[in-house]
Amino acid sequence: MNITESIFGELNGHIIKSYTISNDHGMSVSCIDYGGIITGISVPDREGNIENVILGFDTLEEYINHSPFFGAIIGRAAGRIAGSAFTLDGTVYQLKKNDGEHQLHGGAGGFHQVIWDSDAEKGLNEANIRFSYISPDGEEGYPGTLEVTVNYTLNNENELAISYEAISDKKTIINLTNHTYFNLSGDLKRDILDHEVTMESDHFLELDETLIPTGEFIHVENTPFDFRAGKEIKEGVMSGHQQNVLAGGGYDHPFLLNTGEMTVVDSASGRKLAVETDRPSVVLYTANMLGSDFKIRGVQSKSHLGLCLETQCPPDSVHHEHFPSIVLEKNEVYKTKTSFKFHVV
């Protein structure tokens, strides 16, 4: 295992640090303390060629000017909060809007663009980057001073584990995730339309025209949302299903998980990503709305160039009592973990 540290840029007088963890088998993970962003993950294909398998940039300016949450820590609440408001114990909390009338991914000043404290630790068979941040009471409208720690741990099994821990001095809501866009072709040689996703999920959440969950669970049987036996992304992209069309031609939907295990396979490169989470749902987003006005490490950005597996509680759970709760009691410890393990097939 090895860790290197360098300067990625400067923002408002703060030096932005970059870390790269490399294991003994050719896998490496790079991240920066701006947004806790994972800037690169390099893994071998079936021929042993080591290439980057996520979307990201080489400069801080590109992340600030163009990034649709590439690789970032998302909080305090992932997804959309309807009407940018919620009620706890009779008190209405008004959040800052950044998606029409709604708040998306914690607001414009969310965790994806704060500067986190960071440090690195190396062991014999794993290495860890720890990010920590204290979100003040009222930040983006959320109650409570929230102390957050996120760990990125790479081991010699080609597994990246992301663990989250938080505690608040007031009752609040929290729903953290990571927003990495995966493309297993390697160095963005192809889009993700031929990527096959498998997950044990019997129901997905219906969305309204503003992409807010309606509260209805729809059974996946006989729909493009049935990934139980595996399905290529292009089936949903080319589908005329109302929910696929609504999302911009593809997926931007929460799936309720029967188990916390999912896989993504790119048969051309032989790369397989196995995901394991303790969260009750995942939002599958297939970059349907990825802009085309910038380049990603020399490759023209376009729709369906990556896919996200945002493990979390369902978005807008605070407005749906039958959804898993995202309420965090005062001094209660929030703790969750998702791992991403790479194989070849």
pLDDT tens figures, 38-75: 999 999 999 999 999 999 999 999 999 999 999 999 99
pLDDT value at position 83? 98
Q: Is 179 a catalytic residue?
A: yes
Residue 190: pLDDT band with limits 50, 70, 90:
very high
Selection from 114, 149, 148 nearest residue 129 by Cα: 149
Residue 81: pLDDT band with limits 50, 70, 90:
very high
Quick one: tokens of 295? 């380049």
Selection from 186, 195, 252, 265 nearest residue 225 by Cα: 252
Residue 330 identity (one-letter amino acid): K
pLDDT value at position 73? 98
Does a cis peptide bond (omega within 30 degrees of 0) precede residue 76? yes
Residue 292 has pLDDT above 90, yes or no: no
pLDDT value at position 6? 98
194-246 residue pLDDT tens: 999 999 999 999 999 999 999 999 999 999 999 999 999 999 999 999 999 99
CATH topology of domain 2-344: Beta-galactosidase; Chain A, domain 5 (2.70.98)
For 163-183, what is the mean pLDDT? 98
**Pairwise CA distance, residues 73 & 37, whole Å:** 7
- What is the residue-averaged pLDDT of the chain? 97
For 23-49, what is the mean pLDDT? 97
Q: Is 329 a catalytic residue?
A: no
233-267 residue pLDDT tens: 999 999 999 999 999 999 999 999 999 999 999 99
Residue 121: pLDDT band with limits 50, 70, 90:
very high
Name the pTM for this structure. Answer: 0.97
pLDDT value at position 291? 85
**Pairwise CA distance, residues 162 & 220, whole Å:** 29
Could you tell me if 334 and 165 are in contact, meaning their C-beta atoms sit under 8 angstroms apart? yes
Could you tell me if 338 and 279 are in contact, meaning their C-beta atoms sit under 8 angstroms apart? yes
**Pairwise CA distance, residues 70 & 59, whole Å:** 13
Q: Out of 179, 195, 203, 304, which one is annotated catalytic? A: 179
**Pairwise CA distance, residues 236 & 245, whole Å:** 9
Q: Which residue has the higher pLDDT, 93 or 291?
A: 93
Residue 133: pLDDT band with limits 50, 70, 90:
very high
pLDDT value at position 111? 98
Residue 11 has pLDDT above 90, yes or no: yes
